[in-house]
Structure 1
Protein backbone atom coordinates (compact mmCIF):
# COMPACT_ATOMS: atom_id res chain seq x y z
CA UNK A 1 0.00 0.00 0.00
CA UNK A 2 1.31 3.44 -0.89
CA UNK A 3 0.92 5.69 2.15
CA UNK A 4 0.92 9.01 0.27
CA UNK A 5 -1.66 7.98 -2.34
CA UNK A 6 -3.85 6.56 0.41
CA UNK A 7 -3.70 9.83 2.36
CA UNK A 8 -4.68 11.82 -0.75
CA UNK A 9 -7.58 9.46 -1.50
CA UNK A 10 -8.88 9.55 2.08
CA UNK A 11 -8.69 13.33 2.37
CA UNK A 12 -10.38 13.77 -1.01
CA UNK A 13 -13.28 11.62 0.21
CA UNK A 14 -14.15 14.13 2.97
CA UNK A 15 -16.50 16.94 1.88
CA UNK A 16 -14.14 19.79 2.81
CA UNK A 17 -10.97 17.72 2.35
CA UNK A 18 -10.15 17.85 6.07
CA UNK A 19 -9.86 14.78 8.29
CA UNK A 20 -8.92 14.71 11.97
CA UNK A 21 -5.95 12.44 12.69
CA UNK A 22 -8.13 9.89 14.49
CA UNK A 23 -10.40 9.53 11.45
CA UNK A 24 -7.43 9.43 9.10
CA UNK A 25 -5.79 6.63 11.10
CA UNK A 26 -9.07 4.73 11.29
CA UNK A 27 -9.66 4.98 7.54
CA UNK A 28 -6.06 3.96 6.81
CA UNK A 29 -6.38 0.92 9.06
CA UNK A 30 -9.50 -0.19 7.21
CA UNK A 31 -7.85 0.23 3.80
CA UNK A 32 -4.60 -1.41 4.91
CA UNK A 33 -6.48 -4.54 5.97
CA UNK A 34 -8.89 -4.61 3.03
CA UNK A 35 -6.73 -6.88 0.91
CA UNK A 36 -4.37 -6.81 -2.04
CA UNK A 37 -6.71 -4.89 -4.36
CA UNK A 38 -6.18 -1.60 -2.52
CA UNK A 39 -2.43 -2.15 -2.20
CA UNK A 40 -2.07 -2.86 -5.93
CA UNK A 41 -4.27 0.09 -6.88
CA UNK A 42 -2.28 2.58 -4.80
CA UNK A 43 1.00 1.21 -6.20
CA UNK A 44 -0.27 1.66 -9.77
CA UNK A 45 -1.41 5.21 -9.02
CA UNK A 46 1.93 6.04 -7.40
CA UNK A 47 3.79 4.89 -10.52
CA UNK A 48 2.13 7.71 -12.46
CA UNK A 49 3.78 10.32 -10.22
CA UNK A 50 7.13 8.82 -9.21
CA UNK A 51 8.40 11.90 -7.32
CA UNK A 52 5.28 12.20 -5.18
CA UNK A 53 5.88 13.84 -1.80
CA UNK A 54 2.65 15.09 -0.27
CA UNK A 55 4.40 17.13 2.41
CA UNK A 56 7.15 19.00 0.57
CA UNK A 57 5.00 19.52 -2.54
CA UNK A 58 2.25 21.01 -0.33
CA UNK A 59 -0.38 18.57 -1.56
CA UNK A 60 -1.75 18.50 1.98
CA UNK A 61 -1.79 20.98 4.85
CA UNK A 62 -1.25 20.09 8.46
CA UNK A 63 -3.88 21.85 10.54
CA UNK A 64 -4.92 21.67 14.18
CA UNK A 65 -5.55 18.01 14.85
CA UNK A 66 -5.65 16.84 11.26
CA UNK A 67 -4.72 17.18 7.59
CA UNK A 68 -6.45 18.87 4.64
CA UNK A 69 -5.90 18.19 0.94
CA UNK A 70 -4.99 21.31 -1.07
CA UNK A 71 -6.19 22.23 -4.56
CA UNK A 72 -2.78 21.16 -5.82
CA UNK A 73 -3.30 17.81 -4.09
CA UNK A 74 -6.67 17.37 -5.78
CA UNK A 75 -5.10 18.20 -9.16
CA UNK A 76 -2.34 15.61 -8.69
CA UNK A 77 -4.92 13.01 -7.64
CA UNK A 78 -6.96 13.77 -10.77
CA UNK A 79 -3.86 13.27 -12.92
CA UNK A 80 -3.04 9.98 -11.18
CA UNK A 81 -6.57 8.66 -11.61
CA UNK A 82 -6.93 9.65 -15.29
CA UNK A 83 -7.30 6.61 -17.54
CA UNK A 84 -5.04 6.31 -20.59
CA UNK A 85 -7.95 6.90 -23.03
CA UNK A 86 -9.31 9.92 -21.12
CA UNK A 87 -8.46 13.42 -22.34
CA UNK A 88 -5.61 14.96 -20.38
CA UNK A 89 -6.60 17.40 -17.64
CA UNK A 90 -5.96 21.05 -18.39
CA UNK A 91 -3.29 21.23 -15.71
CA UNK A 92 -0.55 18.64 -16.07
CA UNK A 93 1.68 17.67 -13.22
CA UNK A 94 4.63 19.37 -14.90
CA UNK A 95 2.67 22.65 -14.86
CA UNK A 96 2.01 22.53 -11.13
CA UNK A 97 4.37 24.59 -9.04
CA UNK A 98 6.41 22.18 -6.94
CA UNK A 99 8.93 24.23 -5.04
CA UNK A 100 11.07 22.77 -2.33
CA UNK A 101 12.84 24.85 0.27
CA UNK A 102 16.61 24.91 -0.08
CA UNK A 103 18.03 22.09 2.00
CA UNK A 104 21.42 22.32 3.64
CA UNK A 105 24.09 20.04 2.25
CA UNK A 106 24.59 17.07 4.48
CA UNK A 107 27.94 15.44 4.93
CA UNK A 108 28.09 11.85 3.91
CA UNK A 109 28.99 9.56 6.80
CA UNK A 110 32.42 8.03 6.57
CA UNK A 111 32.79 4.41 5.63
CA UNK A 112 34.84 3.73 8.76
CA UNK A 113 33.45 0.97 10.95
CA UNK A 114 31.54 2.05 14.01
CA UNK A 115 33.37 1.86 17.28
CA UNK A 116 31.67 0.17 20.16
CA UNK A 117 30.80 2.37 23.08
CA UNK A 118 32.82 1.75 26.22
CA UNK A 119 30.86 1.41 29.39
CA UNK A 120 32.33 3.33 32.32
CA UNK A 121 33.59 1.24 35.23
CA UNK A 122 31.18 0.89 38.12
CA UNK A 123 31.67 3.33 40.97
CA UNK A 124 32.90 1.67 44.19
CA UNK A 125 30.26 3.41 46.31
CA UNK A 126 27.48 1.88 44.21
CA UNK A 127 28.57 -1.73 44.47
CA UNK A 128 26.16 -3.71 46.56
CA UNK A 129 23.82 -0.76 47.10
CA UNK A 130 21.24 0.79 44.88
CA UNK A 131 21.98 4.17 43.35
CA UNK A 132 19.08 5.62 45.32
CA UNK A 133 20.65 4.56 48.60
CA UNK A 134 24.04 5.89 47.57
CA UNK A 135 22.48 9.17 46.52
CA UNK A 136 20.58 9.59 49.75
CA UNK A 137 23.71 8.87 51.80
CA UNK A 138 25.74 11.42 49.86
CA UNK A 139 23.06 14.11 50.11
CA UNK A 140 22.07 13.67 53.76
CA UNK A 141 23.07 16.53 56.07
CA UNK A 142 25.96 16.04 58.48
CA UNK A 143 24.77 15.37 61.99
CA UNK A 144 27.07 16.19 64.84
CA UNK A 145 27.29 13.50 67.47
CA UNK A 146 29.62 15.34 69.80
CA UNK A 147 28.09 16.70 73.01
CA UNK A 148 28.71 20.37 73.60
Structure 2
Protein backbone atom coordinates (compact mmCIF):
# COMPACT_ATOMS: atom_id res chain seq x y z
CA UNK A 1 0.00 0.00 0.00
CA UNK A 2 2.76 2.46 0.93
CA UNK A 3 4.66 1.63 -2.24
CA UNK A 4 1.75 2.94 -4.32
CA UNK A 5 1.96 6.42 -2.78
CA UNK A 6 3.85 9.07 -4.75
CA UNK A 7 7.43 9.62 -3.60
CA UNK A 8 8.49 13.22 -3.30
CA UNK A 9 11.91 12.44 -1.87
CA UNK A 10 13.98 9.96 0.06
CA UNK A 11 12.68 11.00 3.49
CA UNK A 12 9.41 9.78 4.96
CA UNK A 13 8.82 13.03 6.85
CA UNK A 14 10.62 15.30 4.41
CA UNK A 15 7.90 17.97 4.43
CA UNK A 16 9.18 19.35 7.75
CA UNK A 17 12.24 20.79 6.08
CA UNK A 18 15.16 21.03 8.43
CA UNK A 19 15.77 19.46 11.82
CA UNK A 20 15.50 22.94 13.37
CA UNK A 21 12.06 23.35 11.83
CA UNK A 22 10.96 19.99 13.25
CA UNK A 23 12.40 20.91 16.66
CA UNK A 24 10.53 24.25 16.70
CA UNK A 25 7.30 22.45 15.80
CA UNK A 26 7.86 19.95 18.63
CA UNK A 27 8.61 22.76 21.09
CA UNK A 28 5.45 24.61 20.08
CA UNK A 29 3.25 21.54 20.66
CA UNK A 30 5.08 20.77 23.90
CA UNK A 31 4.42 24.32 25.15
CA UNK A 32 0.73 24.04 24.21
CA UNK A 33 0.44 20.73 26.07
CA UNK A 34 2.15 22.17 29.17
CA UNK A 35 -0.27 25.12 29.15
CA UNK A 36 -3.32 22.97 28.46
CA UNK A 37 -2.59 20.49 31.25
CA UNK A 38 -1.06 23.04 33.62
CA UNK A 39 2.05 20.88 33.90
CA UNK A 40 5.34 22.78 33.47
CA UNK A 41 7.30 19.50 33.76
CA UNK A 42 6.25 18.77 30.16
CA UNK A 43 8.58 21.57 29.08
CA UNK A 44 11.53 19.39 30.15
CA UNK A 45 10.71 16.75 27.52
CA UNK A 46 13.07 16.78 24.54
CA UNK A 47 13.91 14.51 21.64
CA UNK A 48 16.68 13.11 23.81
CA UNK A 49 14.14 12.35 26.57
CA UNK A 50 12.09 10.43 24.03
CA UNK A 51 15.19 8.44 23.05
CA UNK A 52 15.72 7.43 26.70
CA UNK A 53 12.03 6.55 26.97
CA UNK A 54 12.11 4.36 23.85
CA UNK A 55 15.19 2.52 25.11
CA UNK A 56 13.60 1.94 28.51
CA UNK A 57 10.36 0.66 27.00
CA UNK A 58 12.15 -1.63 24.53
CA UNK A 59 14.23 -3.13 27.31
CA UNK A 60 11.18 -3.58 29.55
CA UNK A 61 9.35 -5.30 26.70
CA UNK A 62 12.14 -7.56 25.42
CA UNK A 63 14.66 -7.83 28.28
CA UNK A 64 17.21 -7.95 25.45
CA UNK A 65 19.89 -5.30 25.87
CA UNK A 66 21.50 -6.26 22.55
CA UNK A 67 18.21 -5.54 20.75
CA UNK A 68 18.06 -2.14 22.44
CA UNK A 69 21.70 -1.48 21.53
CA UNK A 70 20.93 -2.21 17.87
CA UNK A 71 17.74 -0.10 17.97
CA UNK A 72 19.69 2.89 19.30
CA UNK A 73 22.58 2.33 16.88
CA UNK A 74 25.20 2.02 19.61
CA UNK A 75 28.54 0.28 19.19
CA UNK A 76 29.22 -0.11 22.91
CA UNK A 77 26.84 -1.74 25.38
CA UNK A 78 27.96 0.73 28.07
CA UNK A 79 26.30 3.54 26.13
CA UNK A 80 23.08 1.57 25.85
CA UNK A 81 22.96 0.90 29.59
CA UNK A 82 22.84 4.67 30.18
CA UNK A 83 19.59 4.83 28.23
CA UNK A 84 17.66 2.06 30.00
CA UNK A 85 17.21 3.61 33.42
CA UNK A 86 14.01 5.65 33.53
CA UNK A 87 11.66 3.17 35.16
CA UNK A 88 12.06 0.19 37.44
CA UNK A 89 9.53 -2.39 36.34
CA UNK A 90 8.40 -4.81 38.99
CA UNK A 91 9.07 -8.29 37.64
CA UNK A 92 5.61 -9.82 37.36
CA UNK A 93 3.23 -7.24 38.80
CA UNK A 94 0.38 -6.14 36.56
CA UNK A 95 -2.81 -4.13 36.73
CA UNK A 96 -5.53 -6.38 35.31
CA UNK A 97 -8.81 -5.31 33.71
CA UNK A 98 -11.74 -7.21 32.22
CA UNK A 99 -13.90 -6.01 29.31
CA UNK A 100 -16.89 -7.32 27.43
CA UNK A 101 -18.07 -4.47 25.18
CA UNK A 102 -16.08 -3.09 22.21
CA UNK A 103 -16.05 0.40 23.77
CA UNK A 104 -14.48 -0.95 26.97
CA UNK A 105 -11.92 -2.92 24.98
CA UNK A 106 -10.97 0.15 22.92
CA UNK A 107 -10.50 2.26 26.08
CA UNK A 108 -8.22 -0.35 27.64
CA UNK A 109 -6.10 -0.64 24.50
CA UNK A 110 -5.84 3.16 24.25
CA UNK A 111 -4.71 3.21 27.91
CA UNK A 112 -1.84 0.85 27.09
CA UNK A 113 -3.30 -2.47 28.25
CA UNK A 114 -2.39 -5.61 26.33
CA UNK A 115 -4.83 -8.41 25.54
CA UNK A 116 -4.12 -11.65 27.44
CA UNK A 117 -6.98 -14.10 26.89
CA UNK A 118 -10.74 -14.64 26.73
CA UNK A 119 -12.85 -16.72 29.13
CA UNK A 120 -16.66 -17.05 29.22
CA UNK A 121 -17.09 -14.12 26.85
CA UNK A 122 -14.87 -11.83 28.93
CA UNK A 123 -11.62 -10.42 27.57
CA UNK A 124 -8.74 -10.04 30.01
CA UNK A 125 -6.11 -7.30 29.69
CA UNK A 126 -3.01 -6.39 31.65
CA UNK A 127 -0.57 -3.52 32.01
CA UNK A 128 2.74 -3.71 33.85
CA UNK A 129 3.08 -1.84 37.15
CA UNK A 130 6.15 0.28 37.68
CA UNK A 131 7.63 2.22 40.54
CA UNK A 132 6.75 5.89 40.46
CA UNK A 133 9.67 8.23 39.90
CA UNK A 134 12.45 5.66 40.46
CA UNK A 135 15.17 4.40 38.17
CA UNK A 136 16.55 0.87 38.30
CA UNK A 137 18.93 1.84 41.11
CA UNK A 138 16.02 3.19 43.18
CA UNK A 139 17.08 6.83 42.73
CA UNK A 140 14.52 9.57 42.12
CA UNK A 141 14.51 10.45 38.46
CA UNK A 142 11.68 12.96 38.21
CA UNK A 143 9.69 10.82 35.78
CA UNK A 144 5.98 10.73 36.42
CA UNK A 145 4.81 7.23 37.31
CA UNK A 146 1.76 5.52 35.89
CA UNK A 147 0.06 2.22 36.46
**Aligning the two structures, in what range does the TM-score lie when normalised by the shorter sequence?**
under 0.3
Identify, as 1 or 2, the structure richer in strand.
2
Output the TM-score relative to the length of structure 2: 0.23
Looking at CA atoms only, which structure, 1 or 2, has the larger radius of gyration? Answer: 1
